[in-house]
Amino acid sequence: MTRINQTHDASLTSWVESANGHSDFPIQNLPFASFRRKGQSEFRGGVAIGDAIVDLAALAQLSIAEAPVQQALEQAAKPQLNDFMAMGFSAWSGLRLALSQWLREGAAQQAQLATCLVSQADVEYQMPAQVGDYTDFYTSIHHATAVGKLFRPDNPLLPNYKWVPIGYHGRASSLDVSGQEFHRPCGQTKAPDAAEPSFGPCKRLDYELEMGIFVGKGNDLGSPIALDDSDEHLFGMCLFNDWSARDIQAWEYQPLGPFLSKSFASTISPWIVTMEALAPYRVAYQRPESDPTPLPYLCSADNDEFGSMDIELECFLQTDAMRETEQAPQRLSRSNFRHSYWTMAQMLAHHSVNGCNMRPGDLLGSGTQSGPEREEAGSLLELSQGGKVPLTLANGEQRTFLADGDTVIFKGHCQRAGYARIGFGEVVSTVLPAKS
């Protein structure tokens, strides 16, 4: 697993003053995105530092780096990060180290890099990578159990859950970056007491609090990725909202799983926090001793010691009425990625064990990250107990599922004693009325 190095030193400060003490983007983070200045047409790679962005295309033109770092910089400066992702860990780490050194207080390169800074307030984002394939996993046992109880009270977990990292192939074309607005989906639903299904707008629209995991370097068809080789293949993480039409899903998901209930929209945060930046927040992978030991290709000492990640996650809701009265978004729940039953390395190893070839920019969804307590639920389906118990908001409004005009906001951060707090920014998306 990726080890801690000088870039994680909590005492580091930057000559970019807004980075010092920044809640998400201090010098210890340095996440990547694709951005452009508002009003301009050309996107390029960027790295967040405080409230600013290092324009990597402008930086590459300065030619201040030695050959290996310059090559990585030129790839990272492209409109999307796929070619940079394909270079592998040594290139990712080398560029991150150089950026850390150039942005530190007292760096000789300050004057040159200062010309490459752009305010985050003046930009817009696109998908940081071209996602060729997207797979959504189901890694929270607490979410799986809570949802299973709604449909199978006596047998909430299916027999394979504790043996196999469950996933399904999602739709990459409807993935978009924070700020996405989408129309309420329409589809077939069937009420329990109805003789036939009907067609119309979804009535049980839900969010899912997830993490997105970007694949970097790929593998050849027929050559599985070993569990302990994941560092060479996993580039970084983002926040991920995997929207769900629960009533459409209930009618369509048997026997082959989600289809139109999931393919209408999914939203990610613009910033990818690299796996190297996340190294200090790795924690031990744990599961109850009474549970079965995973098969050998899903087990290793490194995965046991460092496989999980301590990421605090929060979900907020802002309704039309709240916006009209200038009320701040209300937090609905708070959870942690460490509750995941399967690790990222296990997801990747299982995905490729049959010889499936992963490609740079492929996206893995973690599945809804719910914790063991009700207030840690990562979806309205759980918070409202399947729509039976409405949530009452501070302004008196009630929700079992989402209404038109609702905006959902996810935030996430990592912190640990002796290390700087780093964050993921936020992912924001709004539900529009169904198209007639």
Q: State the binding site for Mg(2+).
A: 242, 262, 266
Q: What are the b/e assignments for 301-331, b being 16+ CB within 10 Å?
A: eebeebbbbebbbbbbbbbeebeeeeeebbe
Cis preceding-peptide flag for 360 (omega within 30 of 0):
no
**Would you state the structure tokens that stand for residue 88, as one six-digit string?**
């592998």
- What 8-state DSSP symbol labels residue 81? S
Whole-number Å distance between alpha carbons of 149 and 158: 11
Q: How far is CA 225 from the centre of its chain?
A: 21
Whole-number Å distance between alpha carbons of 24 and 7: 16
Q: Is 143 a catalytic residue?
A: yes
Whole-number Å distance between alpha carbons of 87 and 136: 25
Backbone angles phi, psi at 306, to 5 degrees: -130, 10
Binding residues: 136, 138, 152, 208, 210, 242, 249, 253, 262, 266, 368
Q: What are the b/e assignments for 133-171, b being 16+ CB within 10 Å?
A: bbbbbbbbbbbbebbbbbeeeeebeeeebbebbbbbebb
Whole-number Å distance between alpha carbons of 65 and 430: 42
Return all residues near 179 (Cβ < 8 A) that are at least 6 apart: 124, 125, 428, 429
Dmax (CA) for the chain in angstroms is 74
- What 8-state DSSP symbol labels residue 105? T
DSSP-assigned states of every residue in 131-168: -S-EEEE--BHHHHHHHHHHH-TT--S-TTTTTS--EE
Binding residues for Ca(2+): 136, 208, 210, 242
Residue matched to tokens 């929209």: 265
Q: How many residues belong to the chain?
A: 436
Binding residues for substrate: 138, 152, 249, 253, 368
Which residue among the candidates 8, 143, 339, 413 is catalytic per the annotation? 143
Query: Would you please indicate which residues are annotated as catalytic (active-site) residues?
Result: 143
